[in-house]
Structure 1
Amino acid sequence: MKKSRVGMRIGAGVGILFLGVLMGLVLAASLGQTGKLHALLGIGESEKSQARPEPVSAAVAPREAASGANQVCLPDFGALAEAVDPAVVNISTTETVKGRTSWRGFGFGGPGGPGREFGPGQEDPFQEFFDRFFGGINPYGDLKRQSLGSGFIIESDGYILTNHHVVKDADEIRVIFRDESETQARIVGKDPKTDIALIKVDVAKPLPTVKLGDSDKLKEGEWVLAIGNPFGLKYTLTAGIVSAKGREIGAGPYDDFIQTDASINPGNSGGPLLNMKGEVVGINTAIVAGGAGIGFAIPINLVRDVLPQIRSKGYVSRGWLGVMIQRITPELAKSLGLDKPVGALVSEITQGGPAEGSGLERGDVIVEFQGQKVERFNDLPRMVAAVPPGTTVELKVLRKGKEKTIKTKLGELPEESAAEAQGEQGKGEDLGLELQEITPGMAKGHGLPSEKGLIVTGLDPRGPAAQAGIRRGDIILEVNQKEVKTLAEFRKIVGETKKGEMMLFLVKRQEGALYLALEKP
């Protein structure tokens, strides 16, 4: 009797379970889950009803799906890397860090130190010690510091592209190839404004090269591959997509970066960003500190524009219009009678500059340059810079709602010169300064206290000038008690000073002036 009752209970339970499964299947079918239902029951579907993978546009053959019709195919990054790897190089540089005040490199903050930075009013605890007993000189003497970067071969006779910041302060540059062989390299030329450098190695046989692509054709969402040596880990590959184009990150006046989520880390600088054809579309350059999946590359088309000058004369001469411009906001556009906020608004005409006397006026909106539309205000500096000095150019402007055409001859951008580039290549002769001549228009537009002298626009914190107390924004009035108004005058005085001799600078800072002395390295 007990057995029969147990059997009845089991039978009833199985019946209820079967009924529940049957109701669930009917419900799934009514909700449109027939595909999963058929898969569950092992029922085949017709070819037409099966999901197909989206096509991937790539020159590299896509990987075959392991299983399942719904699996998305990816490009074969391995084949692409194998083809390009031999033309990618590791760049190792050695830099001499001067003994003066170099204790900051021993873990107490500063550019080279792994320790914390000192806040306002906080001093390095060893500052007084070194000043008192060693006169501000590090008793350990000059130090050698090594850095790593990447590059890629563009010509079989040994020409290699990389970032300017990778080789900027190098005393020695060594290139390590894929087969672990290495050789010394020299700088052919560089352009700090765009962070591009061209180096050369001597070769006994032709080297493998990469092909330069067209970064203008690159689309957001397109696959890209980065190759480099992050943290010294040789030939690391990372893949991602183009996140955005035309990014401005405050790196320089010609910012036009490709943003990618392909992982870029220290040591990747100078390496190639490749499209799926294996063509270089960018030079990996920068990252957002603390950010994840946010890297930036210089578009290869920008490199193409300046490469001939870098190779032929070691630096880049840029056109100069001589105007100050600003972005047009929606509010400004409305007040200027524009349909939309496009173009570059002229806020100042530089006195003595090329545009003075051309007919260009403050308040004009430049909407075209040499037939090219100026969509964003920062398009204009890049357009002007790409035209050789001395060229007569045509601008289309809007003035009080009316269109006008103006012609003017471009000058040469003042801070660009052969001596500036060669000084950086001087290996110890550079004072660690970036200077710009002050024009009356610049003095007025920027509220500078003087129309004479040279303004310090950049400063190497490890250089002699910084160690002597010169600051960014200082105006150099005299060197060795001789007045300086131009870069040529400054270079002449510095060139006449012998190595090891003291140089006396008269510097204007805010409302006062002071003398500073430094030893020529």
Structure 2
Amino acid sequence: MKKFASLFFVSLLSGATTLGAYKLFMDEDSSPKSRLSIAGGNFTRTVGLSGENTDFTVAADNAIHTVVHVKNLTVYNVPNDPIFEYFYGSRAGGGQQTQIGTGSGVIISEDGYIVTNNHVVKDATELEVTLNNNKTYKAKLVGTDSKMDIALLKIQSDEKLPYATFGNSDNIKVGEWVLAVGNPYNLTSTVTAGIVSAKARDLSNNGIQSFIQTDAAVNPGNSGGALVNTRGELIGINTMISSQTGSYVGYSFAVPSNLTRKIVEDLMEYGNVQRGVLGIEAGELNSATAKEFGIKETSGVLIGKVSKNSGAEKAGLKKGDIIVKLDDKNIMSFTDLTSYINTKRPNDEVKVGIIRDEKNISIPVKLTKKELINYDLKGLELEDIDAADKKKFKINYGVKIDNITNEDLAGYADQLKGGVILSVDNVKATDIETITKVLSRKGENQRSQIELITANGQLLRFLL
């Protein structure tokens, strides 16, 4: 009996020691922040998910060699001051002055193509690029897209250059770690980290722009620099900050890499940006608009009008259709729609998922070249102005009246036809998309305040 009791005690002690050791060693790695649940009966190992375990060093090292410092030299004439001339001579107060601006850029090919922001190189008389190895080159401006704030530069180098690899910006997720790389305040090769705070952010309120919002610190000089993921892939071009002081206070914004890549490829191949459009006037859905139009859906894009000769008209899209999908991308807002369409070209085909009469339908639509569509604004057929119109009227924006179909305006056709609309409801008519966005918020019986220059140069304001 004593022998049995002794054996039982030893067995019990061994079991307790084993259990205690298991508890001691396993509890060190079982904190809530680092534990993963077991799914589908498969065994998984415990991994650390905290911020301390994320390694940015490889991504940062790759990125800093592809980000460059861009110097913009602008020479402008200063008008003579007659008072200064009287007291100090004819040269006083006038002549030429040079202004220097700086920013960042990203090398995207081994033969020297560099993408940056349009506002970094705007009005430049001379452009200079300095690489991370301190080599300096003169740069040539290949092309720009002022609407999306992207510019393409080219430098000539005898050696192959390190370049950034484009990532898929559609695949990034809110909460994902990102790095901002640039030259703030002329501090070269600066790297900051943050997370993606939001996607498809439109700061212009016209539904055209679509930024990646992050909380990575970005300051003046970062413009045109790289936003990269933890693999070092380029997912955006840092463009602006939201600040009342001019310095970083919490949020920064980047042009998505998918849109940047499309713009760059267009500039390389065509010399300008090829924009395809569906050919619709539309507005976003929410609880208020859904109630107003008597529909169930509270997200998506409601078609208010289909433009003549557009791909949407030819495919059979109708007023009242609700767009909820483009190809495999869910459409929750007007910005979602435009951000996807902006990555496409004329004649590209897009599967448009709509809700019509409470039924889900998929309709293939071939995108139309924007310039080929005549937009109708209450009997005024419109088109975007070209360089000749800008020179003729001495303006840098506006939408041209191509034809008059409104019988009430027939008596004014001679004055209006060929004129240029400058604003609608006090919103600058920078292009047709801006006008359609403003009008999509208004009912058919609501009036619009129009400001325009007539064909003979007279400025008119009236209610339409």
| Residue 228 (str. 1) matches residue 182 (str. 2) | yes
Q: Quote the RMSD (CA, aligned, Å).
A: 4.4
Q: CA deviation at 1:164?
A: 1.6
Taking a change above 3 Å as real, the CA distance of residues 98 and 89 of structure 1, as seen in their structure-2 partners, is: same
Contact 1:325 1:345 in 2 (8 A): yes
161-170 or 328-337, larger mean C-alpha shift = 328-337
| Residue 346 (str. 1) matches residue 303 (str. 2) | yes
Contact 2:347 2:367 in 1 (8 A): yes
Matched to 2:65, the amino acid is: P
Taking a change above 3 Å as real, the CA distance of residues 270 and 96 of structure 1, as seen in their structure-2 partners, is: same
- Corresponding position of 1:380: 337
| Residue 454 (str. 1) matches residue 449 (str. 2) | no
Superposed counterparts of 1:390-409, under 5 Å = 390=347, 395-401=352-358
Tell me the secondary structure at the aligned position of residue 305 of structure 1: helix
**Which of the numbers 296, 309, 319 marks the counterpart of 1:362?**
319
Could you report, residue by residue, the CA deviation over 1:340-399 in whole angstroms, capped at 9, with x for unpaired residues? 312211223445655557654433323344565433233233344444324566545444
- Corresponding position of 1:437: 400
**Which of the numbers 90, 94, 111 marks the counterpart of 2:69?**
90
| Residue 50 (str. 1) matches residue 28 (str. 2) | yes
CA distance in 2, matches of 1:403, 1:281: 33
Tell me the secondary structure at the aligned position of residue 272 of structure 2: coil
Taking a change above 3 Å as real, the CA distance of residues 215 and 322 of structure 1, as seen in their structure-2 partners, is: closer
Contact 1:315 1:421 in 2 (8 A): no
Taking a change above 3 Å as real, the CA distance of residues 360 and 418 of structure 1, as seen in their structure-2 partners, is: closer
Contact 1:270 1:283 in 2 (8 A): yes
| Residue 169 (str. 1) matches residue 158 (str. 2) | no
Tell me the secondary structure at the aligned position of residue 145 of structure 1: strand
- Corresponding position of 1:66: none
Taking a change above 3 Å as real, the CA distance of residues 166 and 368 of structure 1, as seen in their structure-2 partners, is: same
Tell me the secondary structure at the aligned position of residue 382 of structure 1: helix
| Residue 414 (str. 1) matches residue 374 (str. 2) | no
Aligned length: 381
Taking a change above 3 Å as real, the CA distance of residues 46 and 71 of structure 1, as seen in their structure-2 partners, is: farther
139-148 or 150-159, larger mean C-alpha shift = 139-148
**Which of the numbers 226, 238, 248 marks the counterpart of 1:272?**
226
Taking a change above 3 Å as real, the CA distance of residues 196 and 438 of structure 1, as seen in their structure-2 partners, is: same
Superposed counterparts of 1:46-125, under 5 Å = 46-51=24-29, 73-99=52-78
- Corresponding position of 1:295: 252
Q: CA deviation at 1:254?
A: 3.2
- Corresponding position of 1:247: 201
Taking a change above 3 Å as real, the CA distance of residues 240 and 86 of structure 1, as seen in their structure-2 partners, is: same
CA distance in 2, matches of 1:432, 1:56: 62
- Corresponding position of 2:104: 150
CA distance in 1, matches of 2:389, 2:301: 34
Taking a change above 3 Å as real, the CA distance of residues 164 and 306 of structure 1, as seen in their structure-2 partners, is: same
Runs of 5+ consecutive residues of structure 1 not aligned to the other structure: 1-44, 58-68, 104-127, 460-472, 482-505, 513-521
Matched to 2:95, the amino acid is: G
Tell me the secondary structure at the aligned position of residue 46 of structure 1: helix
CA distance in 2, matches of 1:343, 1:70: 35
Tell me the secondary structure at the aligned position of residue 282 of structure 1: strand
CA distance in 1, matches of 2:359, 2:164: 49
Matched to 1:181, the amino acid is: K
Taking a change above 3 Å as real, the CA distance of residues 70 and 262 of structure 1, as seen in their structure-2 partners, is: closer
Q: CA deviation at 1:150?
A: 0.3
Runs of 5+ consecutive residues of structure 2 not aligned to the other structure: 1-22, 37-47, 374-382, 408-414, 423-428, 432-449
CA distance in 1, matches of 2:340, 2:177: 29
Q: CA deviation at 1:314?
A: 2.1
CA distance in 2, matches of 1:56, 1:255: 39
Contact 1:193 1:253 in 2 (8 A): no
Contact 2:59 2:228 in 1 (8 A): no
CA distance in 1, matches of 2:171, 2:364: 31
- Corresponding position of 2:168: 214
Q: CA deviation at 1:175?
A: 0.1
217-226 or 203-212, larger mean C-alpha shift = 217-226
159-168 or 408-417, larger mean C-alpha shift = 408-417
Tell me the secondary structure at the aligned position of residue 285 of structure 1: strand
Tell me the secondary structure at the aligned position of residue 160 of structure 2: coil
Matched to 2:396, the amino acid is: L
Taking a change above 3 Å as real, the CA distance of residues 451 and 406 of structure 1, as seen in their structure-2 partners, is: farther
Matched to 2:419, the amino acid is: G
Q: CA deviation at 1:231?
A: 1.7
Contact 2:277 2:341 in 1 (8 A): yes
Superposed counterparts of 1:279-290, under 5 Å = 279-290=233-244
Taking a change above 3 Å as real, the CA distance of residues 175 and 509 of structure 1, as seen in their structure-2 partners, is: farther
Taking a change above 3 Å as real, the CA distance of residues 407 and 223 of structure 1, as seen in their structure-2 partners, is: closer
- Corresponding position of 2:95: 141
| Residue 310 (str. 1) matches residue 273 (str. 2) | no
- Corresponding position of 2:45: none
- Corresponding position of 2:9: none
TM-score (norm 1): 0.62
- Corresponding position of 1:37: none
CA distance in 2, matches of 1:194, 1:397: 28
Contact 1:351 1:441 in 2 (8 A): no
CA distance in 2, matches of 1:56, 1:95: 57
**Which of the numbers 188, 207, 229 marks the counterpart of 2:142?**
188
CA distance in 1, matches of 2:55, 2:350: 47
Contact 1:99 1:138 in 2 (8 A): no
CA distance in 2, matches of 1:443, 1:230: 54
Matched to 1:381, the amino acid is: T
Taking a change above 3 Å as real, the CA distance of residues 442 and 311 of structure 1, as seen in their structure-2 partners, is: farther
CA distance in 1, matches of 2:460, 2:194: 48
| Residue 320 (str. 1) matches residue 277 (str. 2) | yes
Tell me the secondary structure at the aligned position of residue 293 of structure 1: coil
TM-score (norm 2): 0.69
Matched to 1:323, the amino acid is: I
Contact 2:63 2:226 in 1 (8 A): no
**Which of the numbers 280, 288, 301 marks the counterpart of 1:331?**
288
Q: CA deviation at 1:207?
A: 0.9
Taking a change above 3 Å as real, the CA distance of residues 221 and 442 of structure 1, as seen in their structure-2 partners, is: farther
Q: CA deviation at 1:212?
A: 1.8
Q: CA deviation at 1:407?
A: 6.3
CA distance in 1, matches of 2:154, 2:162: 14
Q: CA deviation at 1:195?
A: 1.5
- Corresponding position of 1:6: none
